[in-house]
């Protein structure tokens, strides 16, 4: 075989094993001494991410040319070692060779990733010296370097100076604004672009998602799909799935998966990892497990994401078992893996296991714990009530604790009633984040509980003097492909408010979500609609009473309240379910339905549940007396939904049968009133199961 044939084989080579065979054969026939072949071999090792082999080849080249140097520099950039890459460039410029545009671009990238502004400016001088300023690739690299080093105004001036801007120039500048968290300027840049491609769309969408504005990212993805000129890339899909995970938009995530299946896009391991994350954070752990099981070649992020999913759902033992399986598969855990496993131990209360893993991370894998790892350990000890041990860990850390860690300790102290440590933790938080309104309120409550009225008044005075006000929390709810944004103090919400709605609907009917999953009883069978079949609602937590039944309370006459039997041995009355749009006689999740006692009695003639405001206690409670069917404004209080809650279910009041009605969106739990366990609206869900009569 000649040099040309070997170069052809190198072009087609996709594995290190085959490359090493080609390399060995070339040495045996004396081909390795050819300069062109050696450079091509170096380039192939670089593309396969093998720095040691590539460096060995480079050292054996008698007179490395510019291409050889650039290949090696680019390799170290590709594997995340910019300092080594720039060190190689420094040796390169000491040779008699003249840097070209590609080598300068690689060096600028190394400076940008290291935030090395001084070296970047030296390279800028070399651009002038070697007259490379007219090269658009070099110009874009300079914009990127200055953006990464915080010199956004200088980057923008360079952008304006480019006479013939291509789409890469616009996208690089857009990325610069995103990196500086200037999303308004980035969006202006995006809107002004004369031509966009999938990279520019992805840059803006990813910026929104990472900038904690996921709804705007989803809106832009919707616009991208509507225009239809550019197709989403894998990075786009991963970013959009991440946005869905952030707001728990399960329906939207499923739509995106359906879109990928419809368009035959490749579901690589990165997309599958994002799907696992989306499903787990949206409450569908079973789907996350299913996706994980279907991945043929799992990487460390696949294992880590699945471990994190199990930890999120409180399945600490399962997470540890999966971690053991990961080690048996010869996959090496990284810092994020240990963070997920420690989180699993924390949520499951596995103190000894968590401490062993923390030590194993340091001793066996030589991984240096970050502040997040210490935070997990503080949370683990705090949840177990080992407050003094948690404080000792914080005080003995080689790094300064952050506000998140002190909040974890504060929460643990309040749960255990240790007001002294809670006060200390609260003050530490305010030293780091003096505008945290929540901590001021907690400190005020602590002082009031301890009858320290003077300190309580001082805390209130500090809040007034510094004009600190309670910031409303923000949350999102997805209903039928629509994401609603709520503030914590909202009690009513107009579902047509433009500023808080993202309508995420693909124009093609083939991309619509599949029907919601059916609700299952304790035997694993689907709940059936209609009055022919009755079901009991069972509380998951034993000792919290029995099943719902109608009863009088506070001397009310009919209609009767819906209450919980005091004792588990009593069955209560069976129930039936009537969805607004019956789908093959099956009760489904997130579907408006009437709930009613399946048979009338002497006391209960009107059996349909409805929501009623009891003025005497200022509480929304559930009563009988609703109207079956007839969805609309007059019957809005008669409609409920069944949702997933962990491994079980919960009842919620969030009717969508009236598009112009303002409604409450709340869970349903037990409200104890004069010893009566009444079903009422609450911020906490009532975990339930269903049993066929």
Q: Cα(685)–Cα(311) distance, rounded to whole angstroms?
A: 20
Angle at 277 between CA 517 and CA 683, to 5 degrees: 65
Q: Which token pair is 385?
A: 């009530």
Q: Is residue 149 part of a domain?
A: no
How would you write 512-567 as a 3-class SS string?
CCCCCCECECCCCCECECCCCCCEEEEECCCCCCCCEEEECCCCCCCCCEEEECCC
Contact 299, 336 (CB under 8 A): no
Q: Which token pair is 368?
A: 């240096």
Phi, psi of 633 (to 5 degrees): -60, -40
Q: Which domain holds residue 584?
A: 535-692
Q: Which residues pair with 648 in a beta bridge?
A: 645
CA dist 616 to 23, 329, 613, Å?
Answer: 86, 62, 9
Q: Is residue 568 part of a domain?
A: yes
pLDDT at 476: 55
Q: Cα(313)–Cα(245) distance, rounded to whole angstroms?
A: 14
Give the containing element (helix H, strand E) for 650: strand 648-653
Q: Cα(210)–Cα(187) distance, rounded to whole angstroms?
A: 14
Domain count, the chain: 1
Question: First vs last Cα of the chain: how many Å apart?
Answer: 79
Whole-structure pTM value: 0.58
Q: Cα(10)–Cα(18) distance, rounded to whole angstroms?
A: 9
Q: Is residue 109 part of a domain?
A: no
pLDDT at 598: 74
Contact 57, 45 (CB under 8 A): yes
Contact 357, 341 (CB under 8 A): yes
Q: What is the CATH number of the domain that holds 556?
A: 2.80.10.50
Mean pLDDT by 10 residues, the chain (693 residues): 63 73 72 65 75 80 84 85 91 90 92 92 91 87 92 91 87 91 89 89 88 82 81 86 81 82 79 91 88 89 92 87 91 91 87 92 90 91 89 91 88 81 87 79 74 78 71 56 54 46 39 66 83 83 64 60 70 82 80 82 67 80 84 82 84 78 74 80 82 84
Q: Is residue 403 part of a domain?
A: no
pLDDT at 498: 44
Strands 474-479 and 501-503: unpaired
pLDDT at 514: 52
**Residue 630: which residues within 8 A CB-CB, separation 6 or more?**
none
pLDDT at 4: 63
Reduced to 3 states (helix: H, G, I; strand: E, B; else coil), residue 614 is strand
Q: Is residue 85 part of a domain?
A: no
Q: Is residue 145 part of a domain?
A: no
CA dist 344 to 289, 320, 331, 588, 653, Å?
Answer: 16, 8, 19, 31, 32
Q: Which token pair is 651?
A: 């009842």
Residue with tokens 């299946």: 261
Give the containing element (helix H, strand E) for 613: strand 608-614
Q: Which residues pair with 474 in a beta bridge?
A: 487
Half-sphere exposure of 339 (CA within 13 A, CB side): 14
Q: Is residue 622 part of a domain?
A: yes
Q: Cα(238)–Cα(247) distance, rounded to whole angstroms?
A: 15
Of 561, 539, 543, 542, nearest in space to 552 by CA: 561
Q: Is residue 561 part of a domain?
A: yes
Q: Cα(158)–Cα(297) distance, rounded to whole angstroms?
A: 44
């Amino acid at each position: 075989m000649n040099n040309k044939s070997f170069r052809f084989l190198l072009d087609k080579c996709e594995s290190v094993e085959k490359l090493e065979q080609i390399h060995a054969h070339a040495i045996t026939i004396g081909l390795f001494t050819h300069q062109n072949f050696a450079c091509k071999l170096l380039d192939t090792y670089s593309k396969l991410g093998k720095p040691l082999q590539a460096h060995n080849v480079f050292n054996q080249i008698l007179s490395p040319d510019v291409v050889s140097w650039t290949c090696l520099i680019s390799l170290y950039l590709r594997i995340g070692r910019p300092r080594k890459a720039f060190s190689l460039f420094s040796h390169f410029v000491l040779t008699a060779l003249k840097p070209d545009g590609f080598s300068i671009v690689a060096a600028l990238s190394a400076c940008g990733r290291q935030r090395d502004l001084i070296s970047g400016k030296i390279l800028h001088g070399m651009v002038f010296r070697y007259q490379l300023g007219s090269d658009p690739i070099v110009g874009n690299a300079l914009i990127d370097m200055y953006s990464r080093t915080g010199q956004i105004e200088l980057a923008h001036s360079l952008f304006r100076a480019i006479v013939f801007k291509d789409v890469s120039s616009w996208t690089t500048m857009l990325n610069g604004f995103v990196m500086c968290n200037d999303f308004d300027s980035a969006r202006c840049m995006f809107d002004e672009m004369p031509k966009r491609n999938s990279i520019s769309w992805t840059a803006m969408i990813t910026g929104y998602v990472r900038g904690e504005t996921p709804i705007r990212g989803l809106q832009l993805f919707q616009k991208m799909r509507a225009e239809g000129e550019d197709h989403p890339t894998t990075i786009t899909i991963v970013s959009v799935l991440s946005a869905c995970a952030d707001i728990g938009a399960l329906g939207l995530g499923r739509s995106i998966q359906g879109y990928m299946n419809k368009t035959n896009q490749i579901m690589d391991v990165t997309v599958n990892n994002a799907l696992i994350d989306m499903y787990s954070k949206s409450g569908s752990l079973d789907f996350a497990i299913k996706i994980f099981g279907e991945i043929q070649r799992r990487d460390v992020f696949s294992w880590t994401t699945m471990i994190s999913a199990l930890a999120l759902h409180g399945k600490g033992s399962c997470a540890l078992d999966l971690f053991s399986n990961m080690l048996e598969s010869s996959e090496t855990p990284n810092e994020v893996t240990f963070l997920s496993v420690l989180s699993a131990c924390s949520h499951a209360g596995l103190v000894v296991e968590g401490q062993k893993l923390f030590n194993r991370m340091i001793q066996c894998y030589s991984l240096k714990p970050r502040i997040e790892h210490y935070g997990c350990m503080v949370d683990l000890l705090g949840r177990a009530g080992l407050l003094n041990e948690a404080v000792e860990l914080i005080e003995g850390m080689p790094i300064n604790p952050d506000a998140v860690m002190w909040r974890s300790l504060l929460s643990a102290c309040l749960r255990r009633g240790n007001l002294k440590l809670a006060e200390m933790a609260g003050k530490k938080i305010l030293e780091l984040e003096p505008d945290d309104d929540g901590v001021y309120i907690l400190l005020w409550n602590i002082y009031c509980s301890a009858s320290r009225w003077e300190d309580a008044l001082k805390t209130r005075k500090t809040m007034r003097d510094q004009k600190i006000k309670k910031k409303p929390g923000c949350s999102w709810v997805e209903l039928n492909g629509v994401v609603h944004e709520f503030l914590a103090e909202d009690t009513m919400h107009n579902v047509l408010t433009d500023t808080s709605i993202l309508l995420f609907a693909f124009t093609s009917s083939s991309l619509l979500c599949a029907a919601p999953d059916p609700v299952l009883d304790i035997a694993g069978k689907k709940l059936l609609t209609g009055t022919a079949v009755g079901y009991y609602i069972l509380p998951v937590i034993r000792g919290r009473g029995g099943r719902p039944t109608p009863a009088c309370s506070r001397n009310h006459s009919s209609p009767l309240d819906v209450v919980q039997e005091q004792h588990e041995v009593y069955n209560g009355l069976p129930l039936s379910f009537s969805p607004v749009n019956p789908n093959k006689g099956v009760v489904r999740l997130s579907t408006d339905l009437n709930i009613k006692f399946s048979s009338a009695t002497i006391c209960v003639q009107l059996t349909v549940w409805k929501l009623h405001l009891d003025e005497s206690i200022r509480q929304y409670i559930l009563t009988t007396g609703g109207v079956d069917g007839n969805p609309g404004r007059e019957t809005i209080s008669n409609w409920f939904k069944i949702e997933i809650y962990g491994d079980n279910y919960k009842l919620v009041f969030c009717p969508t049968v009236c598009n112009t009605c303002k409604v409450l969106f709340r869970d349903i739990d037990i409200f104890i009133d004069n010893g009566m366990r009444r079903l009422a609206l609450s911020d906490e869900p009532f975990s339930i199961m269903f049993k066929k009569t």
